[in-house]
Amino acid sequence: MDTVAQAFSAALSLDAIGATVLGTVVGLFFGSIPGLTFSMALALMLPFTFGMSATPALGLLLGVFVGGMTGGSVSAILLGIPGTPSAAATVFDGHPMAHKGEAGVALGSAVIASTFGGLFSLVVMILLLEQVAAVAIKFGPAEIFALVLFGLSTICGMAERSMLRGLVAGLLGLMMMIVGLDELDGVARLTFGTVQLQQGVNLLVAMIGLFAVPQVISTFIDHGRIKPLTIPDNVRASLPTLRQLKDRFWLMIRCSVIGTGIGAIPGTGGPIAAFLAYDHARRFSKHPEDFGKGELSGVVAPESANNAVTGGTMIPLLSLGIPGDPATAVILGGLLLHGLQPGPLLFQTHLSAIYALYVSIILAYVVILVVQLWGIRVFVKVLRVPPHLLAVCIIVMCVLGSYAIRNSTFDVYLMSVMGLLGYILQRLHIPVAPVVLGLVLGETLEKQYRTALILNENSHSIFYNSGVAMFFFGATALMLGLQLWSSLRKRRAAG
Amino acid sequence: MRLNRWLGPCIVVLALVWLWLTYAYIPAARVPEEPGPRAFPVVLGFSLLAVGIAISFAAWLRSSNKPSPELVKAVTARETAIVTGTFLLLIFYTFFMEKLGFMIATSVSILIVMRVLLGMRQWRFMLTFAISVTAVCWLFFVKLLETPLPRGLWLM
With the CA atoms of A417, A418, A423 and A424 taken in that order, what torsion angle do they form, in degrees rounded to the nearest 10?
70
> CA–CA separation, A323 vs A328, rounded Å?
5
User: Model-level pTM greater than 0.80?
Assistant: yes
Confidence of residue B64 (pLDDT cuts 50, 70, 90): low
Range of the domain at A348: 2-493
Task: Please determine, for residue A88, whether its predicted confidence score (pLDDT) is greater than 60.
Answer: yes
Q: Write down the pLDDT at residue A142.
A: 92
User: What is chain A's mean pLDDT, rounded?
Assistant: 86
Q: Write down the pLDDT at residue A279.
A: 86
Residue-wise over A324-362: b if at least 16 C-beta within 10 A, else e?
bbbbbbbbbbbbbbbebebbbebbeebebbbbbbbbbbe
CB contact under 8 A, A403 and B44: no
Q: Which residues of B touch A161 (CB under 8 A)?
A: 70
Task: Please determine, for residue A203, whether its predicted confidence score (pLDDT) is greater than 70.
Answer: yes
Q: Write down the pLDDT at residue A233.
A: 67
A180 backbone dihedrals φ, ψ, rounded to 5°: 120, -175
- The answer to whether residue B131 neighbours chain A at the CB level (below 8 Å) is no
- The answer to whether residue B5 neighbours chain A at the CB level (below 8 Å) is no
- The answer to whether residue A181 neighbours chain B at the CB level (below 8 Å) is no
> CA–CA separation, A205 vs A331, rounded Å?
14
Residue-wise over A280-307: b if at least 16 C-beta within 10 A, else e?
bbbeebeeeebbeebbbbbbbbbbbbbb
Specify the higher pLDDT residue, B101 or B144.
B101
**Of A206-215, A455-464, A478-487, the least confident:** A478-487
Q: Which residues of A touch B78 (CB under 8 A)?
A: 221
Q: State mean pLDDT over A406-431.
A: 93
Task: Please determine, for residue B71, whether its predicted confidence score (pLDDT) is greater than 60.
Answer: no
Closest chain B C-alpha to A268 CA, distance in angstroms? 22
Task: Please determine, for residue A136, whether its predicted confidence score (pLDDT) is greater than 70.
Answer: yes
Q: Write down the pLDDT at residue B90.
A: 96
Contacts 24+ apart (CB under 8 A), B68-72: B68/B2, B68/B3, B68/B4, B69/A494, B70/A161, B70/A429, B70/B2, B70/B3, B70/B4, B71/B1, B71/B2, B71/B3, B72/A427, B72/A428, B72/A429, B72/B1, B72/B3
Tally of residues, chain A? 495
Confidence of residue A41 (pLDDT cuts 50, 70, 90): confident
- The residue in chain B having the minimum alpha-carbon distance to the alpha carbon of residue A179 is B41
- The answer to whether residue B25 neighbours chain A at the CB level (below 8 Å) is yes
Q: State mean pLDDT over A374-380.
A: 75
**DSSP state at residue A198:** G
Q: Over pLDDT 70: what percentage of chain A?
A: 95
Task: Please determine, for residue B126, whether its predicted confidence score (pLDDT) is greater than 90.
Answer: yes
Q: State mean pLDDT over A142-163.
A: 78
Closest chain B C-alpha to A214 CA, distance in angstroms? 9
Nearest to A164 among B54, B146, B147 (CB): B54
Q: Which of A20-29, B7-16, B60-69, B147-156 has the highest mean pLDDT?
A: B7-16
Specify the higher pLDDT residue, B65 or A20.
A20
CB contact under 8 A, B97 and A409: yes
> CA–CA separation, A3 vs B93, rounded Å?
47
Amino acid at A405: I
- The residue in chain B having the minimum alpha-carbon distance to the alpha carbon of residue A411 is B94
Q: Write down the pLDDT at residue A236.
A: 72
Q: State mean pLDDT over A190-211.
A: 89
Q: Over pLDDT 90: what percentage of chain A?
A: 29
Tally of domains in chain A: 1
- Within A100-241, residue ranges assigned H as helices are 103-136, 141-157, 163-178, 203-222
In Å, how far from its chain's centre is CA A423?
A: 20
Chain B, residues 87-106, CB within 8 A of chain A, namely 87, 89-91, 93-95, 97-98, 102, 106
| Each residue's pLDDT tens digit, B16-39 | 999 999 999 999 888 877 888 999
CB contact under 8 A, A388 and B26: no
